[in-house]
Chain A
Amino acid sequence: MSLEEPTGERTETHLTGVTEAGLDYDAIADLLGDRVVGRETHLNAEAFVVRPDEVQEALFALRDEAGFDHCSCVTAQEYEDRFESIYHLKRYDDPTQEVSVVVPTPRDAPASQTAEPVYRTADWHEREAYDLVGVEYEGHPDLRRILLPETWQGHPLGLDYDQDRPQIVTLESHANPLAEDQADDTGEADTMFLNIGPHHPATHGVLHVETVLDGEQVADVRSDIGYLHRCEEQMAQSGKYRHEIMPYPDRWDYVSAGLLNEWAYARTAEDLAGLEVPEYAQVIRTMGAEFSRIAAHMLAVATFALDVYGEFTATFMYGFRDREVVMDILEDLTGQRLMFNYFRLGGVAWDLPEPRAEFFEKIRDFLDELPGKLDEYHDLITSNEIFQLRCVDTGVIDAETAKDYGCTGPVARASGVDYDLRRDDPYGYYDELDWDVAVEPDGDNYARVLTRLREVEQSARIIEQCVDLLEDWPEEEREIQSNVPRTLRPDEDAEIYRAVEGAKGELGIYIRSDGTDKPARFKIRSPCFSNLQALPEMAEGEYIADLIASLASIDIVLGEVDR
């Protein structure tokens, strides 16, 4: 893999606390000065405790003077004596340089300053924190519930929430998105309000996009999510580390990115509990994860074609046909097609299927055919003039805006943000292999499709090297699992935030341990969630057809957005 430093213009301004050797947390503490009222050590980074009314000042300082331009995640949680919001900050140039900002708020009045003016992405993250935990953010532009219905009582991840009391939200009690629209039916309005979804062929699940149209052009667009909220965080919090949580990640991004999601949990929990993973298992993980990525990108390209071509397009079936080969290989490897549950803490569930030669043969056949198939896609899609007419220069989002919204994955890379955790924050076996990060500068719908197709190529390169390694691996050294205690009880109050490069971008997990065998707080940072938030930037002012194309090019999976 390319281990050379990402070539960001790091030298142009001096960034406080950022040195060649890594982060100088004391310098950052000096930068924040009086605003810091305490300091914690999380497993991934130092955390500075900041007064709730000085959040923006602290974050502005960190963003502008220390270069923390990536607000990866906002975690809120409730303790016996306080509420707490944690801003997990990173740098796009080097995501291993992290810092957390902890904002405690009193239990009786949990309100702190919003981070939205500093990081646009905090908008949705804080809404979610308010919705599920109950922290309020002063100055937030739109502090409404985001995942649960507006009429929901209580905050489900709060300590005093009654889990056993059922709440039934009837259709009538929902806010009617049309009511406002019908009210100003004076004939003077020259815009039209249009509900795209929750049941619409282009929303790829149950997403509701409230759109205001000016003729055929999109004047305003707002995503309404939460239709597929399945309490994944709460479910993970009630499972034991060792075996009971791993099946859930498969269900977040359920379109074949399962192994990538499992890796997010595996990496976080292993780092939390200090578990080693045998090298052999890392190679298998790397190979399996890249197969998942290929399958997920094939589906993304296929469904994008569906939205741009119409429902009878051949490209869609081509995508599914080629993805099917990958699914077969993954089935051979894991025994499952959808919910793999193949990773284990400290390794994988079982070794490669026997006979190994046959399995490798199957993979090699796939790899041999892939370049021809990709040529076919380029023939059918990217080199088609009408396709270019439709996709080039539509749905544009520039690099700075993408960073502001916390976009990651192919969406960010298509905007020229050279950010890939596999290279920048290496895990697994990626840093031993030779591959490139696909980056496109344009940030339009076309670039996002092209980036995915190029990433498939790179994934194939990684798989090829993994297969070579696995083939020659000495039989006696094939250790698939390290020694893991029967019951994991990480240290009390250990906190960690770790992310992997999922199919859609940075898939992160925050875990706080309370010394028991279950996590006290399990927070999922979904790449789709952040990417979807940037939809208005891409779609406003464009035609409705481009809104649909942009939505498809973000490649959201609602299971991961809503969790």
Chain B
Amino acid sequence: MRAGGPPLQQGTTTANATGGATTTANATGAANATNGSAAGVGPTAPETISGWLGLGANPDPGVQFLIGIVVASLIATVFLGLAAFAGIWGKRKITAAFTDRIAVNRVGPFGLLIIVADAVRLLSKELIVPEDVDRPAYDIAPMLVPFSALLGFAVIPMGSGLQLADPETGFVFVFAAASIASLGLLTAGYASNNKYSFLGGLRAVAQNLAYEIPLVVTAASVVLFAGTLRMSEIVAAQAEPLVTVAGFAIPAWFAFVNPFAFVLFMTANLAEVGRNPFDVPEAPGELVAGYMTEYSSVYFVLLYLGEFLHIFLGGAIVATLFLGGPAGPGPAALGLVWFMLKVLAVYLFTQWMRSAIPRVRIDQLIEIGWKGMLVLSFANLVLTAVIVGLIV
């Protein structure tokens, strides 16, 4: 979409009345599509589409809304599809590879049609609602969790021009949206009228409180480097080569610029998405299935989907903040592919942890969060601030 030629150029020049510098930067980036960098501040997907339709970058709000809905559905479909692919099929294959097994290989090529079979199976199961559940809350919770994750994707620049919105405060928005999930988990745990769910819900809140702060503070060190909260600009800031080794340019991805922050962020992110060693809210074996215990059929699917979407959102944030977003070799049009690969790499990492690392106990988890991660993340922030202030 991005290397789409004349319509794009037209769209770009008329877009973004807010910042002229950005526009020019992008125009050059787009023209040099073979440059290898898909990064750069470009128009959002709705702007591009309205440009194609000849409506200009800033058409009637109703039309904007309509186009926004179309693009949002597109993004949601992509990630729901990815969740189905990675959650039903990929997860089994990955876990099987870690544990010396083969996993699904009977239905369709490589067992891929198990995705269809499982979807039908899960959706056709009876929806059992236990007695005395807190009814509206019990129903709302499973919708809240995937919703919050999908909301977060709105501001992520996924490359190939696929970005729903690019507000100046995109960075804040994505963390705010992702945090809504805690509310969903607490609601699910509380409304289920089950002690295991209740414990799971409480653990989820305690954990998210303890790890959200280090997560955001660590991410803030990236903001110090980039000097902006706008997601597309954070990506653009990582496009410059950091060093050139033997003619091979290593880009200034923040994972390379500040590996310490990257490790911190990856760790906090594991807690944020509730994967080993921080999977105490679910803790199968202790709490049966934690907040999910009393959910069945489509509600279970929603919660399960929400979990995977959160892992992908976590991966998307990691990719955007630390791994250069959609940047990668080849034409910029391949940006989406690189972006997805990075998201899947983070997903693979979470599955790897799941297979290899024990879960910590809840008190240890809280201790690591408040006494370890928080201190380290603030140290990282201060250090980054000093370095940025002295050098940049």
> Per a CB cutoff under 8 Å, which of B280, B286, B359, B360 touches A202?
B286
Task: Let me know if B99 and A309 touch, CB within 8 A.
Answer: no
> Per a CB cutoff under 8 Å, which of A202, A314, A386, A548 touches B99?
A314
**Cα distance, A374 to B98, chains bound together (Å):** 18
Q: At the interface, yes or no: B193 with Cβ under 8 Å from chain A? A: no
> Per a CB cutoff under 8 Å, which of A310, A316, A387 touches B283?
A310
Task: Let me know if A312 and B355 touch, CB within 8 A.
Answer: yes
Task: Let me know if A543 and B285 touch, CB within 8 A.
Answer: no
User: Number of A residues whose C-beta is below 8 Å from B?
Assistant: 31
Q: A384 and B358 in contact (CB under 8 A), knowing A192-B195, A194-B195, A310-B279? A: yes
Least CB separation from A195: chain B residue: B195
Task: Let me know if A390 and B285 touch, CB within 8 A.
Answer: no
Q: Which residues of B contact A159 (CB under 8 A)?
A: none
Chain A 381-419, CB within 8 Å of chain B: the 1/0 string? Answer: 000101101100000000000000000000000000000
Q: At the interface, yes or no: B288 with Cβ under 8 Å from chain A? A: yes
Task: Let me know if A546 and B361 touch, CB within 8 A.
Answer: yes
> Per a CB cutoff under 8 Å, which of A200, A306, A321 touches B100?
A321
Q: Which residues of A contact B100 (CB under 8 A)?
A: 314, 317-318, 321
Task: Let me know if A390 and B360 touch, CB within 8 A.
Answer: yes
Chain A 171-208, CB within 8 Å of chain B: the 1/0 string? Answer: 00000000000000000000010100000111000000
Task: Let me know if A543 and B355 touch, CB within 8 A.
Answer: no
Least CB separation from A192: chain B residue: B195
Within 8 A of A (CB), among B249-288: 276-277, 279-280, 283-286, 288
- Name the distance in Å between A310's Cβ and chain B's nearest Cβ: 6
Q: A390 and B355 in contact (CB under 8 A), knowing A310-B276, A545-B286? A: no
**Cα distance, A361 to B280, chains bound together (Å):** 46
> Per a CB cutoff under 8 Å, which of B279, B286, B358 touches A544?
B286
- Name the distance in Å between A78's Cβ and chain B's nearest Cβ: 43
Task: Let me know if A310 and B285 touch, CB within 8 A.
Answer: yes
Task: Let me know if A216 and B363 touch, CB within 8 A.
Answer: yes
Task: Let me know if B285 and A314 touch, CB within 8 A.
Answer: no
Q: Which residues of A contact B357 (CB under 8 A)?
A: 309, 384, 386
Q: Which residues of B contact A2 (CB under 8 A)?
A: none
Task: Let me know if B285 and A306 touch, CB within 8 A.
Answer: yes
Task: Let me know if B285 and A307 touch, CB within 8 A.
Answer: yes
Q: At the interface, yes or no: B95 with Cβ under 8 Å from chain A? A: yes
Task: Let me know if B364 and A310 touch, CB within 8 A.
Answer: no
Least CB separation from A387: chain B residue: B358
Task: Let me know if A309 and B363 touch, CB within 8 A.
Answer: no
Q: At the interface, yes or no: A27 with Cβ under 8 Å from chain B? A: no
Task: Let me know if B359 and A309 touch, CB within 8 A.
Answer: yes
Within 8 A of B (CB), among A515-563: 543-546, 548
- Name the distance in Å between B363's Cβ and chain A's nearest Cβ: 6
Q: A310 and B359 in contact (CB under 8 A), knowing A317-B99, A321-B100? A: yes
**Cα distance, A543 to B361, chains bound together (Å):** 8
Q: Which residues of B contact A310 (CB under 8 A)?
A: 276, 279, 283-285, 354, 358-359
- Name the distance in Å between A385's Cβ and chain B's nearest Cβ: 9
Chain A 11-24, CB within 8 Å of chain B: the 1/0 string? Answer: 00000000000000
> Per a CB cutoff under 8 Å, which of A314, A317, A545 touches B362?
A545
Task: Let me know if B356 and A314 touch, CB within 8 A.
Answer: yes
Q: At the interface, yes or no: A143 with Cβ under 8 Å from chain B? A: no
Q: At the interface, yes or no: A311 with Cβ under 8 Å from chain B? A: yes
> Per a CB cutoff under 8 Å, which of A194, A314, A316, A390 touches B361?
A390
Q: At the interface, yes or no: A380 with Cβ under 8 Å from chain B? A: yes
Q: At the interface, yes or no: B101 with Cβ under 8 Å from chain A? A: yes
**Cα distance, A539 to B21, chains bound together (Å):** 65
Interface centre among A192, A310, A316, A380 (most CB of B within 10 A): A310
Q: Which residues of A contact B355 (CB under 8 A)?
A: 312-314
**Cα distance, A389 to B360, chains bound together (Å):** 8
Q: At the interface, yes or no: A484 with Cβ under 8 Å from chain B? A: no
Task: Let me know if B288 and A201 touch, CB within 8 A.
Answer: yes
Task: Let me know if B276 and A200 touch, CB within 8 A.
Answer: no
Q: At the interface, yes or no: A29 with Cβ under 8 Å from chain B? A: no
> Per a CB cutoff under 8 Å, which of A380, A384, A389, A548 touches B285?
A548
Q: At the interface, yes or no: A61 with Cβ under 8 Å from chain B? A: no
Q: Which residues of B contact A216 (CB under 8 A)?
A: 199, 362-363
Q: Which residues of B contact A390 (CB under 8 A)?
A: 358-361, 364
Q: At the interface, yes or no: A308 with Cβ under 8 Å from chain B? A: yes
Least CB separation from A211: chain B residue: B195
Q: Which residues of B contact A387 (CB under 8 A)?
A: 358
Chain A 312-344, CB within 8 Å of chain B: the 1/0 string? Answer: 111011100100000000000000000000000
Interface centre among B98, B279, B285 (most CB of A within 10 A): B285
Q: Which residues of B contact A384 (CB under 8 A)?
A: 357-358
Task: Let me know if A201 and B195 touch, CB within 8 A.
Answer: no
Q: A314 and B98 in contact (CB under 8 A), knowing A201-B288, A380-B356? A: yes
Task: Let me know if B98 and A545 touch, CB within 8 A.
Answer: no
Q: Which residues of B contact A311 (CB under 8 A)?
A: 284-285
**Cα distance, A105 to B54, chains bound together (Å):** 102
Q: Which residues of B contact A318 (CB under 8 A)?
A: 99-100
Within 8 A of A (CB), among B111-164: none
**Cα distance, A543 to B98, chains bound together (Å):** 30
- Name the distance in Å between B311's Cβ and chain A's nearest Cβ: 14
Least CB separation from B362: chain A residue: A216
**Cα distance, A420 to B276, chains bound together (Å):** 38
Q: Which residues of A contact B279 (CB under 8 A)?
A: 310
Q: Which residues of A contact B98 (CB under 8 A)?
A: 314
Least CB separation from A217: chain B residue: B363
**Cα distance, A369 to B283, chains bound together (Å):** 34
Q: Which residues of A contact B364 (CB under 8 A)?
A: 389-390
**Cα distance, A201 to B351, chains bound together (Å):** 21
> Per a CB cutoff under 8 Å, which of B95, B195, B361, B362 touches A312?
B95
- Name the distance in Å between B137's Cβ and chain A's nearest Cβ: 20
28 CB < 8 A contacts A-B? A200-B288, A216-B363, A305-B358, A307-B285, A307-B286, A308-B359, A309-B358, A309-B359, A310-B283, A310-B359, A312-B354, A314-B99, A314-B100, A314-B355, A316-B99, A317-B101, A318-B99, A384-B358, A386-B277, A386-B358, A386-B360, A390-B359, A390-B364, A543-B362, A545-B280, A545-B283, A545-B359, A548-B286
* Beyond A313-B354, A543-B362, A545-B361, 4 extra complex contacts between A and B, CB < 8 Å: A202-B285, A307-B285, A309-B358, A312-B276
A residues within 8 Å of B by Cβ?
Answer: 192, 194, 200-202, 216, 305-314, 316-318, 321, 380, 384, 386-387, 389-390, 543-546, 548
